[in-house]
Structure 1
Amino acid sequence: MVVRSSQEGAPGPVLASKVGSGRAVGVSLMLGSGLSTQLGAAVAALAFPVIGPVGVVAVRQWVAAVVLLGVGRPRPLSFTAAQWWPVLGLAAVFATMNLALYTAIERIGLGLAVTLEFLGPLAVALAGSRRRTDLACAIAAGVAVVVLTRPQPSTDYLGIGLALLAAVCWGCYILLNRTVGERLPGLEGSAAAAGVSALVYLPVGGLALWHHPPTLPALACALAAGVLSSAVPFLSDLVALRRVPTHYFGIFMSVNPVLAALVGVVVLDQHLDVTSWAAVAVIVSANAVTVTTTTTTRPAGDQTHRS
C-alpha cells in the first residue's frame, strides 16, 4: 500500500484557482479595453466642433504611432519589398478606417457607427463558411442592418456609408494583418504601419489644425482619445491575451457596440430607440455566435490592435 501525503493533491485546486483568477483578470482587462475604446471615441467627439474629425484622427494616429513604435521597435531599413507592400496597405487602412469612423460618429452617433463598423470582422468570419449557423447569423445581421438604416426623412446616408467604409477597412485590416504577421516577426509590421500612417497625417493634420486652431480643451480631448482608444486598449489586450483563450477574446470584442451605445447615451446624450437597440443586440449576438462556433481558431489579433 502506498501512503500519500494529505497535501499531495493540493496543487490541483491551487492551480485551478490561479487559472480562474487569471481569467477573471483577463475578462476585466477586456471589458476595460472595450470601455476605454468607446470612451475615447466619445471624448474625441467632444473635440469635433473645434478641430473636426481630421484633426482628432491626426492626433490619435500620432499617439498610436508613439505607443506601437515603442513596443514593436521595427527595423524598416531591413524590410524587403514583399514585407513593405502589406505594411503600406495596413498603413492606408489605419488612416482611412479611423477617419471614416470618426466622421461617421460625428454624423450618425457613436452607437450606430460602431455597430455598423462591426460588420467588417463579422463578414470576414462568415466569408467562405457553409455552415447553417453562420448563414443564419449572416441573415440576422443583414436584417438588423436594414432596421438600423431604415430610410427616414432624417436618415444620414453619407454617415451610414462612412461607417460601412470603416467596416470594409476593418475587414481589410484583418486580412492584411495576417499577411504582415506571416512576413514580419512580432509587432514590427503593425508598428511600421502605424508609423507610416502617422507620417501621412503630419501634413494632413497640420493643415487641419492650421485651419481650425485647437483650443486647450479640444487638444486635451484629442490627446485623451489617442490614449484611451489606442494606448490603453493595445496594452490591455496584450496582457488579456495571455490569460484568456482566443475565442473568449472574440466574444468580448462583440460587446463593443453595446458599450458604444451606452457611452453615447451617458457622455454624448445620443439615444437609440427601442428598435435600434434590438438591431444592435442582434448584430452583437451574430458576432458572438459566429466566434463561439467557429471551428478554425484565428489569431485574436485579427479583431483587435487597431491603431
Structure 2
Amino acid sequence: MLSIQLGSALSLDLIAAVGPAGTGWLRLSVGALILLALVRPPLRSVRRSDVPTLLGLGIATGLMSVAFLAAIERIPLGTAVAIEFLGPLTVAALRGRGGRALIWPVVALLGVVLLTEPWHSDFDAAGVSCAGLAALAWAAYIVLTQRIGDRFTGIGTLSLTVPIAAGTAAIVGIPQAAGHITPAILAAAAGLAILLPVLPFALELLALRRMTPTAFGTLMAVEPALGVLLGLLILHQQPSAGQVVGILLVVLAGAAAQRHGDRDQQSVGQMDSRA
C-alpha cells in the first residue's frame, strides 16, 4: 500500500508532462521490461482455459492504472483512493457470510459522499467517474489475480499480464505521450515503475495465494487513510473536517467487513501441484 500510494503521489509531475494515460503506459511498459528481465514467463504451463483470465487480468490492470491516474489528476489522492476502494470492499461484501456484510459498502459510500462533497460547485464529476471506473477494474483485478495465483507458482505470470496491461494503456497512452518523451521522462518512469507496478503487484499476487478476496480487500481498508496522509505530506492536499470523517467511515467499513482471512492451504497446495 505504501509503495502504491507513494508511487501515485510522485506521479503527478509525470502526469503533467505526458498525461495520465501516457504515465500509465510508460510505467507499465518499463515495469513489463523489468519483470521480463527478472522472471521467465511460464508459457509452457499456460492452458487454453487460462488465456481469458490472463487477458482479463492484464486489461483490468491497464484500465485500473490509467483510470486512477486520470482521477488523481483532477481530485485529491485520498479521495480517489477512497472511491477506488469501493471496488474491493464490494467484492468483500458480496463474498462475505450473511446479508449484514452488505451494509459496509453503504457505509463506505456515505464516507465517499462526505469526501467528494457533491453539493459544492467545484465538484469534479469527471474525476469521480474515473475513480469509479478504477474501482470496477480493481474489483476485477482482485478476483482474477486470485485465480491466477492459485493456478501458477511464483510471480512469473506477472511477466505475462503486465505486458498486456501496458498494451491496454498504450491505446490512449501513446497518442497522449507522443512528442513529450525525453530521457528525463523515461528515467522518472523507470523509477516509478519499481514503486508501481513491479513491487506491489508481486506482493499482492503472493498475498492473494494465502488470503480470500474478502480478507485481502478489507485489509486494504487503511489505504484511503494512507492516501490522505501522503496527499497531505507530499502534495499539500489539506482535507476538511467533513472529509476526515468520510475517510474514517471508509476505513471503518473496510475493517468491519473483514471475515475469515485464512485460505484453505491444503486446497491451495492441490491447485498449485496440478499447475
Q: Please name the residue that 2:164 is paired with.
A: 196
How far apart are residue 202 of structure 1 and its match?
Answer: 5.4
Q: For 1:128-176, what per-residue CA distance to the aligned partner results, in whole angstroms no more than 9, with x for missing partners?
A: 5453652442331122122223322111101101101100001111222
Q: Tell me: CA distance 1:38–1:92, structure 2 relative to 1, closer, same or farther (3 Å).
A: same
Partner of 1:63: 30
**Alignment match of 2:178 (pick from 210, 230, 242):** 210
Greater Rg, structure 1 or structure 2? 1
- AA aligned to 2:165 is S
Change in Cα spacing, 1:249 to 1:212, as seen in structure 2 (3 Å) is same
Aligned equivalent of 1:76: 43
Are 1:229 and 2:192 an aligned pair?
Answer: no
- The 3 A distance-change label for structure 1 pair 233 and 80 is closer
Cα gap change, 1:89 to 1:127, in 2 (>3 Å): same
Matched, 1:176 2:144: yes
Count residues in correspondence: 261
1:78-133 alpha-carbon deviations (Å, 9 max, x no partner): 53321111101111101100000000000112111111111111000001545365
Q: CA deviation at 1:268?
A: 1.3
With 270-279 and 186-195 compared, the bigger mean Cα shift is at 186-195
Distance change (3 Å), C-alpha of 1:228 and 1:186: closer
- Note if contact 2:57-2:144 (Cα within 8 Å) is conserved in structure 1: yes
User: Does the alignment pair 1:164 with 2:132?
Assistant: yes
User: What's the secondary structure of 2:122's corresponding residue?
Assistant: coil
Unaligned ranges ≥5, structure 1: 1-33, 300-307
Distance 1:102 1:112 in 2: 13
- Do the aligned partners of 2:93 and 2:257 also contact (CA within 8 Å) in 1? yes
CA distance in 2, matches of 1:256, 1:53: 21
- Whichever residue aligns with residue 112 of structure 1, its letter is T
Q: CA RMSD in A?
A: 3.0
Structure 2 gap ranges (5+): 265-275
Cα distance in 2 for partners of 1:249, 1:79 equals 25
Q: TM-score, normalised by structure 1?
A: 0.74
Partner of 1:109: 76
Q: Which residue of 1 aligns with 2:247?
A: 280
CA contact (8 A) 1:120 1:167 kept: yes
Q: C-alpha separation between the residues in 2 aligned to 1:275 and 1:155? A: 15
Say if 2:80 and 2:131, in contact at 8 Å, map to a contact too. yes
Are 2:92 and 2:217, in contact at CA under 8 Å, matched by a contact in 1?
A: no
- Matched with 1:305 is none
**CA deviation map 1:214-273 (0-9, x unaligned):** 472x4443332211222333466688x5xx988986665221111111111121122221
Tell me, yes or no, if structure 1 residue 148 matches structure 2 residue 115. yes
- SS of the equivalent of 2:144 reads helix
How many percent identity over aligned positions? Answer: 33
Q: 2:224 aligns with which of 257, 282, 295?
A: 257
Instruction: Pick the aligned partner of 1:266 from 230, 233, 248.
Output: 233
Distance 1:79 1:234 in 2: 20
SS in 2 for 1:107: coil
Question: In 2, are the aligned partners of 1:61 and 1:197 still within 8 Å (CA)?
Answer: yes
Letter in 2 for 1:65: A
- Please give the secondary structure, in 2, of the residue aligned with 1:254: helix
Give, as a single letter, the amino acid of the residue that structure 2 aligns with 1:115: A
Alignment partner, residue 295 of structure 1: 260
Report the counterpart of residue 137 of structure 1 in structure 2: 104
Shift of 1:198: 2.6
